[in-house]
Each structure stands twice: as C-alpha cells, then as structure tokens.
Structure 1
C-alpha cells in the first residue's frame, strides 16, 4: 500500500507533472502580458508621421509655386479643409486597424487564460476522484477485514 501512495508512482507523479505544467502556463501568460507592455511598437506611428510630413511638404511646394495673386484665402481654406479631411480619414483607418489587432490579441489572451482555468479545474477534479477512490479502498479493506474476522469466529 505504501508504494502506491508515494509521489513517484501513478497519481502522485501525475499531480506533480500537472502542477508544474499549470505553473509554467501561468508564468508564460504573465510573461506575455509584461512583454507586451514593455515593448511598444512605434513603427506604424512613425510611418504615418512621415507620410503626413511628405504630404505637407508637397502642399507647401504647391503653395510656394503659385503666384501670390492666385492664392486667395478661399482657395487656401479649401485646400486646408481637403488636407484635413484626408488626414482624418487616415486616422480613422489607423484606429480601426488598431482596434482589430487589439481584439485579436485579447481573444488570444482569453483563450490562454481559459485553457489555464480548465487545467486547474481538471487538477481539482482528479484530486477529488483520487481522494474518493482512496477512501473507498480503505472502506473496502476494513470491510474485508471485518468479514474475515466474522468468518473466523
């Protein structure tokens, strides 16, 4: 009986392996969250700023190339409004793209957390089943001993 209860055999070893696996999964999830917060990606923002600067430079060249009499306040106001509308449209596209990426990332994290939760529940269920089996075995042994004692009388 003592050999079956040692942690190197059967259920004990399985529990230890499961405990280590759940611990590793938890550290992995925490590492992903910390890594995501510690390493921002400025590439898309810098690319967008570069595109804006190119557009403004082109617009400035266009304005600079026009004679002063042709550049009326109304024409300048229309051009500014057009460029502003284009910039707002690009901003909306960037925000929508970021929203989609954020949703995908959140879904991945939720699946990881759900998997860890399921593993924890499975470990708990296995613990309960093993305890129940141990108790049933002990009761069976006691019953058999009592029956043997009654039959020898």
Structure 2
C-alpha cells in the first residue's frame, strides 16, 4: 500500500469520526429540546448540556489531531527526521570526543616535555660530574708532573722546592729539613746532631 493511500485513509477515518461526533451532538441537542418541550418528562437538560459540552470538547480535540503535522508525515519522512536527529547527536558526541582527545594529547605532550627536560637535566648533571672529575684528575696529574720542574725553574732565592717540601710535611722549613735529613741518612744526621748535644751538656 502506498504512503499516499495510508495518509488518505487516515484523513478519511478522522473525517468520518468528526462527522459522527457532530451528528451525535446534534441528536443530543434535539433530544434535549424535545425533552424540554415535554412537561411530563423529567428535566435532563443539565445532564444533556454536560454531554453536549463534552462532545464539543472531543470534537475540538479530534480537529486538532487531524490538523497535527505529525499525521502529515510519511514513514520515509519520519525515518529521515530520525536519521537526521541521530546524525546530529552522533556529530555532537564526535565533537566532544575530539575535544576530550585534544585535551588528553595536550596533557600528554606537556608531561612528555617535562619528562624529557628532567631526563636532560639529570644527564647534564651526570656529564658535569664526569667532566669535573676528569678535570680534577687531569689537574692532579699535571700538578704531580709539572710542580717539580716549575718549582726548580723559579729563582733559587724563592726557595719553592723547600717550601713545597715543608708544606707537604705540614711542618716549618727547619723541622721539615731535619726530618728529611734523618730520613735520608740517620747516621749522618746523628753525626751532625752529636756535637751540638755535647756542647749543650758540656
């Protein structure tokens, strides 16, 4: 059955219903008039008036229903509108999903940058320690190798070798010299010290 036939049948059915309601309303009104003219019959005018009002209200509702735009829609049009509403809802959901994904991507990017900065800072600190230790080792090696020749190259009146020896022993130069002589030759040192002890005892 075609959609136009379905729409026509619905319109005809509502038109028939409206005609029947109108006919029933006129019959009730006529019956009420006849009852009013008869003096022997009970007075049903109030009841019939209520019925008439109800029928009028029903007729108005039927008219509004017949004129409703929803009845003029074909199944295809209804399906199209449902599809359009569904598409709009899905599009909004997709937009919200993209917004949420963009926010998550931004947070992940910031976290990655912070992690990379932290890793780079740790790597820089590690390399700085390595360079510092290497420089310290090179400096100590150069000092051990070059300190002696540099001290010997200075003028003799500066006494750099002697001062370096005393500083190494953490003693004054006189006591440091005695210790060096005793360590170099205990017998010779004893021979030097013995006359001085004899003079002090004598």
TM-score grouping bracket, smaller chain normalisation: 0.3 to 0.5
Larger radius of gyration: 2
Instruction: Return the TM-score normalized by structure 1.
Output: 0.47
